[in-house]
Structure 1
């Protein structure tokens, strides 16, 4: 998002929530957390002291400003972890996933970084990552690089610049994040994606480079009001479908929509379901919700007196009453275009598809649980199947990392070798684990 806008509202971002917490505590709902028990999280940001009603509504935490490098290390070598400690510890104490925001970004970076040599800059970036990962080892998600298309890091040349891939500085950043935070899901994050097909194409190019190296676990789309308020619903769906072809889960990372009560309600009713029900979307994080503490006016969902705006009342009812069925995507292709695969859940065949010769997403929605397999019966010569992945509500399980593949042809025979492959040539199946 635009840095000027951020700083125009900085005063409100830093307003203490202590007094508001007492007031908001009177607005507790009987049923905690809107997305409790759902397969996707519905989270929000914590800017200072956690509001008393945060746990009433949300079940995932992102820090608003506290995780940005310029906030953590405004003076070189002097780390300010206090606000980040608060948000992280709150998430841990309440069993909520925590997402770090962010490591490498061209805005809100330390003022002193520009005065260093390139080797010093790279060393400082890595040191920030290393210290973060040591201090917060249970972080589930990390926005490794933020806004590479719109606000790339000023020091990117020190990280490899464009290089051979065109985005070597991003590859370097993800390599270091993977090294120091091996247990976290690594994400990239950007705005202006949900409403711009050209931006989606450029973004997918970066994701493809990272995915080919096993460095990325998800892609973030900010979905702020300037992208969401007036975008056509068909455009949202078209761009989500296009981005899903990158083959990694999508995280709606910074959602807000503005307007008076009626306008905001209409926008949420029209557009939020497209995000929440899309099979590639694995979670949604809103960017603030309390009046006077959001970065843009009229995006709040809770008034100063603790009462809910109509959009929040609708949102809670919608998510709680939406089926928690699983959206399964099998991404695959055949070499002849006549191959047929079958999805089995718990040993039961639930869906079969005849594959095309290009990689295609084949979808199935179910509430069934149990082991999942994709099965192929090769009944003619010249037929092979390549499975890219099976995803469950946007969480991709790559075929080549599965240990169970009875249809692979390796070491001169069916079933030979380790079984780790995207390919099915023989009669057999790839197992993708329990749903």
Structure 2
């Protein structure tokens, strides 16, 4: 992956010096593809903003400008200019902005290995502090990128493995929360969508952060090397598994290769499963213009502004497909969660479409907890068991009077069965372990 990510940087540098100001023939007067949808469909900005960006996308991620090695290649000499360009464009257009990234083992400053451990920790935190002061309206931050595949070389200075096995990640998120308290904090990794073994390891990190209230989203890169030959069934199984953490999924770096017909077939096979999955909160592609993507044949728009077949299909699909997700709009729903705790100190959280809607502290008697919402998407009732002797019994969830019994649902990841946590097979009203009962789409 080092070679691949360096290739990203080289291509981005070329874009910075010679970006084409495309006047796309494909409808600059039209709104973004995902206008009015509960999920954004975003893309990257490199050195300059393509003139047709707002014809397609409604979220911005800087390709390389936000990486520490790009900002502070020379110690204490900060290059914010390219990042200013992307951030200010997002702000002026009302698009969500995601910083990419704070802590990463690739594209880190070359000088970081020559300073002491205490200085390394200081410098990492300083980068976060300066960033957050300069860009206070950042909505999302990839705090740690590729913790499994490309961990930071200076991780021991941040706590190393420690008691959790990932203390350096916990430290990074704690500092990001301190300095950017209003941003949603994300972790990001590649190879998750196609590798169940790596996925399970990743879920372990996510759950460590979730237990400490530090993570708001889990990123999966979905690059061509994971996607091109992936089956839709495998993708869904892995998305379903990751969604069991109860943390919203961000498809963060999507691209697929191929000639016109091959790329079209791949988007038709896989994109619907990403866009409509109830656990996926948002989707960001990784480039779209010919000659300005990090890998050949991942582009969706040619140099002359004409669209490849996959883009023509994508436009129609996104605009005409009704989905649930982390947004609002549509019919009001009266939701009832009927539950009790064994001690009266247990709390449960209702999450819809990846968004935490309401947390209730439970009575020891069966009680109806109600909320009215227009949110749509997958629904879960989640429990974090933070003390001994605590258990939750969920009788049902109802939607406008239609009852869904807890013991009849497809999964329960908080049930204690056969002497262990993590049964995950439903057929129980009880939550004893950290986990959730899934009640399906609303």
TM-score range, shorter chain: 0.7 to 0.9
Change (3 A) 1:111 1:27: same
Structure 2 unmatched ranges of 5 or more: 376-442
SS of the aligned residue for 2:118 comes to helix
Once the 2 structures are TM-superposed, how far is the Cα of residue 396 of structure 1 from its aligned partner?
A: 3.0
Cα RMSD over matched residues? Answer: 2.5
Once the 2 structures are TM-superposed, how far is the Cα of residue 3 of structure 1 from its aligned partner?
A: 2.0
SS of the aligned residue for 2:65 comes to coil
8 A Cα contact 1:17 1:50, kept in partner: no
Alignment of 1:418-429 (within 5 A): 425-429=365-369
- 1:368 partnered with 2:318: no
- 1:392 partnered with 2:358: no
- Higher alpha-carbon deviation: 24-33 or 151-160: 24-33
Please name the residue that 2:14 is paired with: 15
SS of the aligned residue for 1:194 comes to coil
Change (3 A) 1:262 1:124: same
Once the 2 structures are TM-superposed, how far is the Cα of residue 317 of structure 1 from its aligned partner?
A: 0.4
Change (3 A) 1:197 1:398: farther
CA distance in 2, matches of 1:279, 1:108: 33
Please name the residue that 1:282 is paired with: 281
CA distance in 2, matches of 1:123, 1:382: 45
8 A Cα contact 2:289 2:299, kept in partner: yes
SS of the aligned residue for 2:23 comes to helix
CA distance in 1, matches of 2:23, 2:289: 9
Once the 2 structures are TM-superposed, how far is the Cα of residue 26 of structure 1 from its aligned partner?
A: 4.2
Over residues 299-321 of structure 1, what are the superposed CA-to-partner deviations in whole Å (9 max), with x where a residue is unaligned? 00000111000001100100000
Please name the residue that 1:359 is paired with: none
8 A Cα contact 2:251 2:280, kept in partner: yes
CA distance in 2, matches of 1:116, 1:290: 40
Please name the residue that 1:309 is paired with: 308
Please name the residue that 2:380 is paired with: none
Please name the residue that 2:145 is paired with: 146
Over residues 2-54 of structure 1, what are the superposed CA-to-partner deviations in whole Å (9 max), with x where a residue is unaligned? 12123245443223478764443444344220000100000000001100000
Q: State the TM-score, normalizing by the size of structure 2.
A: 0.80
- Paired residue total: 375
Over residues 187-231 of structure 1, what are the superposed CA-to-partner deviations in whole Å (9 max), with x where a residue is unaligned? 000000000011111001001110000000010000000000001
Please name the residue that 2:56 is paired with: 57
CA distance in 1, matches of 2:141, 2:9: 23
CA distance in 1, matches of 2:347, 2:259: 47
CA distance in 1, matches of 2:331, 2:17: 44
Change (3 A) 1:385 1:257: farther
8 A Cα contact 1:105 1:153, kept in partner: yes
Once the 2 structures are TM-superposed, how far is the Cα of residue 394 of structure 1 from its aligned partner?
A: 2.0
CA distance in 2, matches of 1:162, 1:377: 38
Change (3 A) 1:377 1:164: closer
Please name the residue that 2:383 is paired with: none
Alignment of 1:128-147 (within 5 A): 128-147=127-146
Once the 2 structures are TM-superposed, how far is the Cα of residue 376 of structure 1 from its aligned partner?
A: 1.6
Change (3 A) 1:19 1:67: closer
8 A Cα contact 1:13 1:295, kept in partner: yes
SS of the aligned residue for 2:287 comes to coil
Change (3 A) 1:384 1:260: farther
8 A Cα contact 2:16 2:47, kept in partner: yes
- Higher alpha-carbon deviation: 15-24 or 81-90: 15-24
Change (3 A) 1:377 1:389: closer
Please name the residue that 1:228 is paired with: 227
8 A Cα contact 2:261 2:309, kept in partner: yes
Structure 1 unmatched ranges of 5 or more: 329-364, 410-424
Change (3 A) 1:155 1:325: closer
8 A Cα contact 1:248 1:396, kept in partner: no
Q: State the TM-score, normalizing by the size of structure 1.
A: 0.81
8 A Cα contact 1:397 1:432, kept in partner: no
Once the 2 structures are TM-superposed, how far is the Cα of residue 386 of structure 1 from its aligned partner?
A: 7.2
